[in-house]
Amino acid sequence: MHDVSHRLNDYDQQNQHNSNQATIAAEQFKQALSRHIVENGQVRLIAHGQSMFPYIQQGDTCTFSVPNPRMVKKGDILLYQDSQGKFIAHRLLMPQKDAMGRPSYLIKGDTNLKPDLTVYPEQVIGILTEQTKFRHPVRLTHIFKAIWCPVVMHIPFISWCLHNYLRVRNRIRRMLRSRPL
């Protein structure tokens, strides 16, 4: 029994070590990304995931610039690092104050059913300033943004519909891929 608990203890220590290394790596990446944005004024990243569908789709190139907290407004797409070290670009629903009165943001992906955990200004790395779809730049003043942003922010049913559409679409794709020819 001692040998098993000793192995589990070693396993736990190794996992803690790996977790610490991942946390350090994520923090170093955040610092490098922040430094790059400050030095160059912007950073281009390739979108991954479906939480901002259809506004941002898998493979789109998104350009994020240095955020000015006083200029951030409802509807902006902010790039931030969450508590697990993941980098996320979601829409700002509203600036707010947390329970202790500190400034924070209520942020949500367009297809997510619930908002993200509280995001603080110091977590924000950039603000979306340019987007390229299929090698064609999209102006952020484009009519789609002017219409889409208020619709998705004020009609929660839209997020629910998109969420379920993507869930069904992904299920069908998995079924088609697993079928023998």
pLDDT tens digits for 140-172?
667 777 788 889 999 999 999 999 999 999 999
Max Cα–Cα distance, the chain, nearest Å: 67
CA distances from 129 to 51, 81, 121, 172 (A): 18, 18, 18, 34
Q: Give residue 124's pLDDT.
A: 93
The torsion angles phi and psi of 120, rounded to 5 degrees, stand at: -105, 150
pTM comes to 0.77
Q: How confident is the model at residue 121, as a pLDDT?
A: 93
Please state, as a whole number, how many other Cβ atoms lie within 10 Å of the Cβ of residue 105.
24
In whole angstroms, give the CA distance from residue 133 to residue 169.
21
Distance CA 15, CA 21 (A): 10
The token duo for 154 is: 């004020």
- Calculate what percentage of the chain has a pLDDT beyond 70: 81
Q: Which CATH class is domain 42-178?
A: mainly beta
Q: How confident is the model at residue 7, as a pLDDT?
A: 34
Distance of CA 88 to the CA centre of its chain: 2
Full 3-state SS string of 100-125: CCCEEEEEECCCCCCCCCCECHHHEE
